Structure 1
């Protein structure tokens, strides 16, 4: 019986992904122009008269989320962190601009991401205006409320996604083809995101009906509020009162984790495999499908491999050498990286009959460690493809636990439960049982809980495109990137006399070119948008 229920839920989830793609295709062809001003629209808003219209409108937003997120462009800001780097040449110039903190207003990845996010926002605005003041006669009120709640949530997290890249952004809240919005203040942006999330929370169910929380629940929203308050407490607004709100929000999620369907996945490596695509650790998961429109995830697999013969990688996403070598050895590091690959005579990965173990220092194309989180479980075989059905764990339950630990420490309210939240993540990293105290648990003797939690985040979310946001909110960019020397490993090699020297790695070099000061923390607004709307220039 349990198996039948799981299969039924999966089929329902797959149906939503397919419907989202169909809705995206309809909206893309009939209603939107990719080249138009993302802050405006020529949509004609028609008041909904049936639940079918509302459902199609909301699934259309999910379709646009998939289309915005399926390429690495969606996470382009992640290359700014000290955990991720890209190829030194090839066609990765836009990623290198972020990697080197020298981002130009003409960066095409920035523009594409801007377009995709504002398409979602416009679609959400259309739904909200089309259903405003309407009680649909062919459905119960709870279903209408849930769909409206999902719409507010999706708009809020997209404002949040873009805010983390650009800081100040235009808050487009209605469909008006003639509007020329200005950049909102940083406070206004935070307040609007908070407002959208609170509107969503009041309408959503306690638990998502789908495995992996591919639609939001009250717990999902409260987790994103906790993340928002952490950013609010840091740079640039530095409102320290928000730490208490972050702690309270995260604690609410933790206390109700079972009701929300959240929990840590005991096997960390499973999260980046096909088997882990709908894990309970997903607080909000972006799922993919090849059943309609070939809506697959196209930022994993071979994009994390070099172009060496046999590997044939697309050389897009690699690990930073210094970060890799600094990470403590153990279960978590093994789940995060591949330090070596089993290959056959043809140079291709071969799990059954490898003839050589190829170390990352031996790559001919680019000597950078491999992120397992990008390449995936080798047994899945999608390392050889440029597309996969693996999900994006857009937010994980581990982040909720670490937010609670860090925010409690900053607010001066940390107790045993905050330490337990921190140590649940830490135990898993050590390969221990999550719920059983261990002598290796972190304590006050190791440092302040907020500093320990911040460091735990560094290692836990390596390669997940969010490290840069942590460096920004804590103003640690200079500290993390200022002494980086990617031309030389911090490892040591010794000659026959025992004299050590740094290991040379001459092919891995994307040196920092831009400023690491706070005035360069945010990417510029795309030049094309400023040309269409000069109000965005200030």
Structure 2
């Protein structure tokens, strides 16, 4: 693992608004003990942690969790994307090192907040909240790492050593225990909701509970997964947005269904996201009429049930431009989830990346209850709430409520529902792995998959600089 000492310098220099106009300062001039002295310093530091989430999510997470799945693919000219989708990658594939490095930079920043902010004399409630936010983000980073690579180095203390980089991988179980501990501690000190415009997008107790529910679900701890998801439901802090399309409209981001999202904007072009251009039908993206190579797997496009309104947003074959021109795709179906007519640059738009939302929690709750023995009335109610929204006001005979299913049938129904509801939102590979369906699903769309593909390879660049790392089997 690369220990990047420059991170502590960046913490000092990133302002409360997360602007990236940084000047280089010789490291010899910097003392970390002098940079955590006030509440303003603590706020600047946690903002610097949030800023680094952009390097882990956006198209990076879509490549990791959706492109390597049975719903998303790329056109052949996108060689790197094809490598990921078709399981042709290896330890030298650049995406893995990019994600691995970005994740540990994020963890390093979080560690510095966790290690230094408690020493500041400031409002105790705010101090605890900021530390809780850092623990939430650290847990999120490790959850992504452990699902991607399995055993990973568990670093929870600030390290300024750029010489000793021989850090071995820690067992998944140990990493998961730290993730759970961080989230449990975070949920106790984070607010239910932020209301100030400058605080929208920060981690809340509901966000911590939602990710904790998913951690428990991944660990097959059905009792705790169901209990934690129910806490989110019972809080009444979230609700399903009536119109599924509105979930993805930039003007309506951070709405009542959104629990935690990575914030993108057009304040500066560098703050924008790349999802819009990546998924746009070519000659439709508003900046220079460009477009992307990311498309919908045809089998997934045809899997929606008759009358499912979500298909209108999830699968399109043509796009009507602002001037009335209709552009048809010449290469197959695309998704319209990330359309932004007011994008701020050729590769930057206003679309947030939704990490978790209320429908995700409802489906997790249904899954966990079913795994405790059989589908209960509460499990049916949770999944049917999601299905009811997908009717878009049509009669109940359209996309009818589920009923009378066996445990195995309900399990399959939840996985399918998660596909229709949460596609291209960074969930699919993890869902297939969690349910043991990954190899089967990939083979069904003609992609070679076997046991080695259940984990990604440890990046070759990391092994080169850290001899203590051991590669995953098969790579």
Q: TM-score, normalised by structure 2?
A: 0.86
Correspondence for 2:381 = 420
Correspondence for 2:145 = 162
Correspondence for 1:458 = 419
SS state at 1:524 partner: coil
Q: 1:339 aligns with which of 317, 322, 326?
A: 317
Structure 2 runs not aligned, ≥5 long: 1-13
Correspondence for 2:227 = 248
Indicate if the aligned counterparts of 2:271 and 2:348 stay in contact, CA closer than 8 A.
Answer: no
Correspondence for 2:277 = 301
Correspondence for 2:177 = 191
Correspondence for 1:328 = 305
Say whether 1:202 aligns with 2:188. Answer: yes
Q: CA deviation at 1:532?
A: 0.4
- After superposition, what is the alpha-carbon deviation per residue over 1:475-500, rounded to whole angstroms, capped at 9, x for unaligned? 21222121325xxxxxxxxxxxxxxx
- After superposition, what is the alpha-carbon deviation per residue over 1:445-488, rounded to whole angstroms, capped at 9, x for unaligned? 58743332222112111222311111111121222121325xxx
Indicate if the aligned counterparts of 1:302 and 1:384 stay in contact, CA closer than 8 A.
Answer: no
Q: 1:520 aligns with which of 453, 458, 461?
A: 453
How far apart, in 2, do the equivalents of 1:524 and 1:25 lie? Answer: 35
Q: For the aligned residues, what is the CA RMSD?
A: 3.0
SS state at 1:294 partner: helix
How far apart, in 2, do the equivalents of 1:399 and 1:224 lie? Answer: 10
Q: TM-score, normalised by structure 1?
A: 0.76
Q: 1:282 aligns with which of 258, 274, 279?
A: 258
Correspondence for 1:508 = none
Q: 1:120 aligns with which of 106, 109, 122?
A: 106
Show the 5 A alignment for 1:58-457. Answer: 58-70=46-58, 72-77=59-64, 78-89=66-77, 92-132=78-118, 134=119, 136-137=120-121, 139-176=122-159, 177=161, 178-209=164-195, 214-233=201-220, 242-258=221-237, 262-292=238-268, 294-301=270-277, 303-306=279-282, 312-329=289-306, 330-342=308-320, 350-354=321-325, 358-360=327-329, 363=330, 367-374=331-338, 376=339, 380-382=341-343, 385-412=346-373, 414-432=375-393, 440-445=400-405, 448-457=409-418
Change (3 A) 1:453 1:309: closer
Change (3 A) 1:410 1:25: farther
Moved more, 146-155 or 59-68: 59-68
How far apart, in 2, do the equivalents of 1:205 and 1:121 lie? Answer: 22
How far apart, in 2, do the equivalents of 1:389 and 1:226 lie? Answer: 29
Q: 1:531 aligns with which of 448, 456, 464?
A: 464
Q: CA deviation at 1:308?
A: 9.1
Larger radius of gyration: 1
Correspondence for 1:347 = none
Show the 5 A alignment for 1:50-65. Answer: 50-65=38-53
Change (3 A) 1:123 1:20: farther
Say whether 1:21 aligns with 2:21. Answer: no
- After superposition, what is the alpha-carbon deviation per residue over 1:45-81, rounded to whole angstroms, capped at 9, x for unaligned? 42732111111111110111134435x1243212111
